[in-house]
A and B are shown apart, each in its own frame.
Chain A
Amino acid sequence: MRRTFGQSLSLYGGVLVIALAIGLPFWWVLTGSIKLPKEIIQRVPTMVPHSFTLQHFEKLLQASDFPIYLFNSMVVALFSTAFTVLLALPAAYAFFRMEFPGRNALYKTILLAYAFPGVVVLIPLYGLFAKVGLIDSPVALVIVNVAFALPFSIWMMRSFLATVPREIEEAAIVDGAPTTTILVRILMPLIAPGIASVAIFAFISSWTEFLFASVLIVSDVRRTIPVGFAGIIGQYQIDWGLLLAGATAAIIPVVALFALVGRWFVAGLTDGAVK
């Protein structure tokens, strides 16, 4: 059905408002990071930069600890992602494709863990990590990140597994293939988008995690971006150019990742959502 003029106007008006509400702040940060300092703090801000400089990025990469934070964040996020996928995949398969006693109760308990307040286990976890000597170690962050990403990741696999016809597995069973072979050889390629979604979710969770990283990591050289960066905010008199360049540099990896597999991630998020 065709829209009336008024309907079109309100639809595109709404689209514009959303685009501006989300995009404009990012536009300002992006353009701010290449403005000269005096343009950044100008009384009447400019929408389009009038000056161009890479001095903030130079300072960020050469005079600050940002490259170290970036490296630490990458390492923690990649390991967190790998372990989340390794644990979530078989668990999701069992929950959504197999039958076993206590399945529903276990599944619900795991779901509850998704909304579990991190700060509640922060204190005892600190004690436990201290006992085994994992304070100030990226291993501790990986463990925590995997634990908090896991419940949602399992849940997200549901809609992707549902797209695979059961006949495919049944045919393989009749052919006498062992279950692990079915999982690895036949199912994996079919649910690749699901694996990508779980990976991106785990990566983003780790990339943005602040609370545990602020407590479990003590020395500056082991910090990840969120905590290290928060330290830069308060360090000197606020150097907006440096912060905006840092913000831009922290956005780029997740945006790049999202550009590659974001579509699947959104599908995974929405398809399983209402069940």
Chain B
Amino acid sequence: MPSLKSYRLRIRSVQSTQKITKAMKMVAAAKLRRAQEQATAARPYAEAMDKILASLGQGAAGGTGPRLLAGTGADKVHLLVVATADRGLCGAFNSSIVREARRVVRALLAEGKTVKILCVGRKGRDQLRRDFASLIVDTISDLGRPRLSFGDAQKVSARVLAMFEAGEFDICSLIFNRFKSAMTQIVTRQQLIPPPPPEGEAQAPAGGAVHEFEPDEGEILADLLPRNLTVQVFRALLENAASFYGSQMTAMDNASRNAGDVIKKLTLQMNRSRQASITKELIEIISGAEAI
């Protein structure tokens, strides 16, 4: 049976771990709130962008639009943008994204397509490197410090656009975690290039207003599409950040609770062993006294 002292040391070590996880939980909760606020604040821009795109889309429908909208017409080479976090200690956040990425990559490879991977965030690269080191084109990390900005999204989308213009891929999709609540995050795969046709096209002429365009439709589209890509990436990164902190908060909450359980168990064992040793000493004294 371990000595009392070793119990005390172990309890103390678990307690300090608990302090750390508790603090991390608080920090994650605060950051989660900030991330959610940011996501809410970014919504008007994305919505306005969608509206403009929808009214432009009416004119440019029919697959004759620019390549960013219509795609290259082929689906030979796929680019997967895998957005994870730079850091761990966040439950299954990173691994669930990576698991989905692996599944998609395997499925695409099985269909005979070429796959390229662009990692956003260090953790995704670290995990994907084990299986698909040769497919990873590049890694973009250290985004969102101190907070996620539009410029961060631009870094990613600029890279994607440069590759697209160089004809390095046909279809680009993004894998990230959609934020549902602090407990649940949904791994989502979103196709960026070419963008999927908008839902409910039947009711497209909303308001019946036909817009005038200045300078002209084509030029606006050429300007708008790259920017829309950035907005989509930005939105995904914001969702990802909120998911990350949500996941981290839940994970740290669990860890604190587990630490509490361990402390309780250890304290019980310590008290038992203390009582056992007291009883033993008493028996020794009594039997000694009786022997005289």
User: A and B bound?
Assistant: no
B residues within 8 Å of A by Cβ? none
A residues within 8 Å of B by Cβ? none
